[in-house]
Amino acid sequence: MQAFIMQAQLDNAKQLLDLGCGTGSLAMLIKHDFPVIDVTAFDCDQKILSIAVNKAFKAQVDIQFVQAFAEHLPCQVNCFDRILSSLLFHHLSWDKKQQVASEIFRVLKPGGELHVLDWGRARNGLMRTLFLAVQLVDGFGNTRDNVSGRLVELFEAAGFSQVSEQQSFNTVFGTLVHYRALKGNAELPEN
């Protein structure tokens, strides 16, 4: 996660959304490393959010946790200058992925950045074989787009520019990919 946070270049971020936050680990790492960032974290599962709220309370970090579905974000237009999402998209059908990408585009400020860490195209035969375990659990239909490398196409179709795969990581479950995209025409800083 630290590599993902570093790649997101959060030094001048002010308002950040952790979309699909789960138990809040990513949001807490961000708030710990960048205490001046206003961190909001959304997840649709109330039980999971309760765990996240308790973890943040014990760690004494100020994060706003909100129960919400990613395809219907309870936000005004142009709210966040960074949106990070980790391991959310592979759970969604292609239609839901499109809805979520459009919602992210709607709530991201012009010049804002999207950073997604999720399963991607396998880098070799072993990674493809290992990913079968994820597909058995999360469904072949939902994960097919990820393993086919279609997330770049997804974000471009939602209106994002300069969409790219930043880095990939081989894991015991397959290949994780960090995707980066920009809302607007401003140049992304070089890594």
Average pLDDT, integer, range 10-26: 96
pTM of the model as a whole: 0.92
Residues in the chain: 191
Q: What is the pLDDT of residues 120-134, one digit of tens each?
A: 998 889 998 899 899
Predicted pLDDT of residue 189:
47
Residue 80 has pLDDT above 70, yes or no: yes
Give the pLDDT confidence score for residue 188 in this predicted structure. Answer: 44
The span from the CA of 184 to the CA of 102, in Å, is 14
> CA-CA distance, 38 to 35, in Å (whole number)?
8
How sure is the predictor about 78, in pLDDT bands with cuts at 50, 70 and 90?
Answer: very high
Domains and CATH numbers, the chain: 2-182 (3.40.50.150)
Which amino acid appears at position 158 of this protein?
A: A
Instruction: Please list, in sequence order, all residues whose beta carbon lies within 8 angstroms of the beta carbon of residue 49, skipping any fewer than 6 positions away.
Output: 21, 43, 65, 66, 67
In this prediction, residue 2 carries a pLDDT of: 85
pLDDT range class, residue 1, cuts 50, 70, 90? confident
pLDDT for residue 185 is more than 80: no
How much is the mean pLDDT over the chain? Answer: 93
